[in-house]
Structure 1
Amino acid sequence: MKITDVSPIPVTLKSAREPMSLSFVRIETDNGLVGYGEACDSYGATYAGVIGEIITQAFAPMLVGHDLVAVEPVVERLRLSTRRRLGDHGVAGQALSSIEIALWDLVAQAAGRSVSEQLGQVRDRVNIYASSTFLDEGPAQFHADLLAPLLERGVRYAKVRVGPEWQKDLRTLTELRGLLPDDLELMIDGSDTFTLATAMQVAERLGDLNIRWFEEPIPQANRAAIAALSAKSAVPIAYGEHLYGREDALAALAEDGVSVLQPDASTSGGIAEARAMAGLATYYGARVVPHTCAGPVALAANLALAASVRTISLLEYPFFLAPAWDALGASEQFGIEAIRDGSLAVPSGPGLGFRLADDVAAQFPYQLPGARVVGTVAGVLDRFVGDR
């Protein structure tokens, strides 16, 4: 089949928390098949229009008119053609991820299989962990109530987020731990916030609470600090949603001492690259738990990833995005009501097993972010610039 059109689809959805933008891509072929991909910048895609311009200006001209037989050679050609100018990190890597996912969607559809079957499916359901919000958004009972609907559906893993006012957050966390089932595995996300000294203090307290991992406690560029923390932390240290490809994963595992790796197919270069990252993690004895925090296409791609790698048994589930998935027509597949015994079914339809509506761009027109800072209720920038 020959690629005939590559179109980015940036959209913005309203939610109870804040407007949220998502970055999709649609690839058409001469046999009538249509594939969808999605890029994620760790929380949706704030600058979805920028990602779209990279797709339009850099990748689309190299795709239109070319035959598609296998995914990896096409993606490698795109990467090699742009890495010295655009690079393969940041928005360029995210844009390439969305292209790669759409190509897998097409190749699997052409074969009459799901993407997970095309890759080599090893499970038909994936356990999920409830990825919740910042502890400073309410008292312990507020957070217990947020998690309750998922626990009722058999979820036994959850994550909450600690911020700059970490002393108060840890008091809330201690109380919350007492409100949750003893067998619930609880994780903490630090959102790239802390200095090394504070991260050490927080990690020690987390060890006392039997927290299973401390995610992104220190800005990822502070490599020496992460290595120092990993060497002494009372809990495993997790990174991944800002890792772009196997080289980044190798550095995180071998040099930074990361023991929980969190690749995201919609960020790290695509499904195949995330699978390669998972393979490296196995060599280092690290746990692999993919990140996902975007729209339903990214979730479907990461479910295919998890379903095709034997060492992945858990996937992030940002349940506060369920209204956005519902608006995009994915509630039946991916909404909270779809969770059974703490797991989601891997899509079994051809390709990714999920398709966007043709008029999605008209339904949800893209809005420039302006000064909006996403990922928080108040949109305050200082949440991400250091501890108190």
Structure 2
Amino acid sequence: MLVVDRTRPTGPAGRITHVETLLLGTAWRDFGYVRVHTDQGLSGVGEITHPYRVAETAALAEAMARRHLIGADPFDTEEIWLRLYQGDFLRGGDVGGIVLSGFDQAMHDLMGKALGVPVYRLTGGACRNRVRVYANGWYNGERDPAVFAAKARETVAKGYSALKFDPFGAGLHELSRAELRQSVELVGAVREAIGPDVDLFVEGHARFAMTTASALLRALEPFDIGWLEEPMPWTHIERYAELRARAPFPISGGEHFHNRYEYKQLFATNAVDIIQPDLSMAGGLTEVRKLAAIADTHGVMVAPHNSNSPLCTTVSVHAALGIPNFKILETFDGLLEPYVFDAVRGALPVTADGHVEIPTAPGFGVELDDDVFAEHPPTHRFWNMFSAGWEKRNRT
């Protein structure tokens, strides 16, 4: 591996001196962050949220920082990425992929702050004037068509022009006839409530067998959905192309992959029409830009996954601005408590018409408020989506 001489002159951000991790408890999930400091008095932030293992992710981040970041120049993003991935024998996976992503974000934040420019100026500039987002998490409650329809109308009334939800309850591998009927009724009720001009995406959470996934293609066709997301487990990736060939709408997926090497088989098998890399899981801006370029060579669009905090939303907006084959960005921001936005001061807000405007602040423009973190420690809660009632988000 090529190793940069860390005694040579550095860029305007200086060299990294120390790294902190911070955890924030919410009703949705515990959010995790890194804050990286340099000898020039700058600090850069990144998100390391894991749905269930944020404490473990923070511990790995602290250990990897000691091994690889102290003394590094944040402008050496490619060398740092390689050092973390190859030099630590990381080889992908969710916890390691999240740590790598968060550090890559922090490097970009430091570069932007050092140069006095928004991060998107460093990653290809802007292909568009703003970024369209869709709402997720709006449907927590009773799995009743009238309830879901009312919640969908409320969400569209807030300005969103696109929604996503999982209508399938606790189904795994198969759905009973009654469960399939109820799930389809939920989709129909939501489509009727929001009308034909709002995009509707259906989430499968990667849990159905081929026969059930095929049945869903027929059952969902009347509702003009924008995509069916991860209908099967990725252990069956070789069957995705077969399913996609039958589908009357796009098939999307990829949130469970953490770098180009894990994505390799997805592209090789023509598994999906739309990839969904997560800026806090798939290697940060350095790697997601490469994934988008590879997707473009396959005629595939990019719709980043983002079930994280407003910091990841902000990071994703910066990335999306420079991706030519970008489609739309996920956000759970409308589900979160107000103090979350106090904790990540400066995060970009969703506008009244379901977009995020082009940013102007140097770096990501986000600072972490330690006092808010102290007031809201992590809860370490867990909700099991394979048990009945998971959609109510009741945690234990």
- Give the TM-score, by structure 1 length: 0.87
Query: 2:358 corresponds to which residue?
Result: 346
1:377 paired to 2:392: yes
1:117 paired to 2:116: no
Shift in alpha-carbon separation, 1:7–1:368, aligned structure 2, 3 A: same
1:54 to 60, 73, 78: 60
* CA RMSD between the two structures: 2.4
| Aligned 1:67-86 pairs, distance under 5 A | 67-83=73-89, 86=90
Q: How much has 1:35 moved relative to structure 2?
A: 0.6
Contact 2:30 2:49 in 1 (8 A): no
Shift in alpha-carbon separation, 1:318–1:243, aligned structure 2, 3 A: same
1:94 paired to 2:108: no
2:25 to 5, 9, 12: 12
Query: 2:175 corresponds to which residue?
Result: none
Contact 1:71 1:107 in 2 (8 A): no
Q: How much has 1:378 moved relative to structure 2?
A: 5.3
Q: Which moved more, 1:164-173 or 1:138-147?
A: 138-147
- Which aligned segments of 4 or more residues in structure 1 are displaced greater than 6 angstroms? none
Contact 1:135 1:162 in 2 (8 A): no
- How many residues end up aligned between the 2 structures? 369
Q: Which moved more, 1:95-104 or 1:255-264?
A: 255-264
Query: 1:65 corresponds to which residue?
Result: 71
1:357 paired to 2:357: no
- Give the TM-score, by structure 2 length: 0.86
Amino acid at match of 2:39: D
Give the Cα separation in 1 of the matches to 2:256 and 2:106.
21
Contact 2:167 2:202 in 1 (8 A): yes
1:230 paired to 2:216: no
Give the Cα separation in 1 of the matches to 2:74 and 2:393.
45
Structure 1 stretches of 5 or more lacking a match?
A: 382-388
SS in structure 2 opposite 1:169?
A: helix
Query: 1:27 corresponds to which residue?
Result: 36
Query: 1:285 corresponds to which residue?
Result: 299
Query: 1:386 corresponds to which residue?
Result: none
Shift in alpha-carbon separation, 1:149–1:350, aligned structure 2, 3 A: farther
Query: 1:384 corresponds to which residue?
Result: none
Q: How much has 1:292 moved relative to structure 2?
A: 0.6
Q: How much has 1:326 moved relative to structure 2?
A: 4.2
Q: How much has 1:11 moved relative to structure 2?
A: 2.3
Percent identity over the alignment is 26
Amino acid at match of 2:56: V
Contact 2:160 2:354 in 1 (8 A): yes
Give the Cα separation in 1 of the matches to 2:121 and 2:154.
31
Shift in alpha-carbon separation, 1:380–1:233, aligned structure 2, 3 A: farther
| Aligned 1:1-388 pairs, distance under 5 A | 1-13=14-26, 15=27, 20-41=29-50, 45-83=51-89, 86-122=90-126, 123-133=128-138, 137-163=142-168, 164=171, 165-323=179-337, 326-329=340-343, 333-335=347-349, 338-369=350-381, 372-373=383-384, 376-377=391-392
Structure 2 stretches of 5 or more lacking a match?
A: 1-13, 172-178
Amino acid at match of 1:151: V
SS in structure 1 opposite 2:367?
A: coil
Shift in alpha-carbon separation, 1:210–1:372, aligned structure 2, 3 A: closer
Give the Cα separation in 2 of the matches to 1:333 and 1:106.
16
Query: 2:3 corresponds to which residue?
Result: none
Q: How much has 1:147 moved relative to structure 2?
A: 3.2
Contact 2:303 2:327 in 1 (8 A): yes
Q: Which moved more, 1:325-334 or 1:4-13?
A: 325-334
Give the Cα separation in 2 of the matches to 1:61 and 1:293.
29
Give the Cα separation in 2 of the matches to 1:82 and 1:61.
8
SS in structure 2 opposite 1:221?
A: helix
SS in structure 2 opposite 1:126?
A: strand
Contact 1:131 1:318 in 2 (8 A): yes
Q: How much has 1:87 moved relative to structure 2?
A: 2.5
Q: How much has 1:230 moved relative to structure 2?
A: 1.9
* CA shift digits 1:139-191 (9 cap, x unpaired): 23322332334423542211111222332111121122112121111110011
Give the Cα separation in 2 of the matches to 1:70 and 1:137.
50
Query: 1:385 corresponds to which residue?
Result: none
SS in structure 1 opposite 2:234?
A: coil
Q: How much has 1:97 moved relative to structure 2?
A: 0.6
Give the Cα separation in 1 of the matches to 2:217 and 2:49.
28
Contact 1:12 1:364 in 2 (8 A): yes
Contact 1:135 1:161 in 2 (8 A): no
SS in structure 1 opposite 2:336?
A: helix
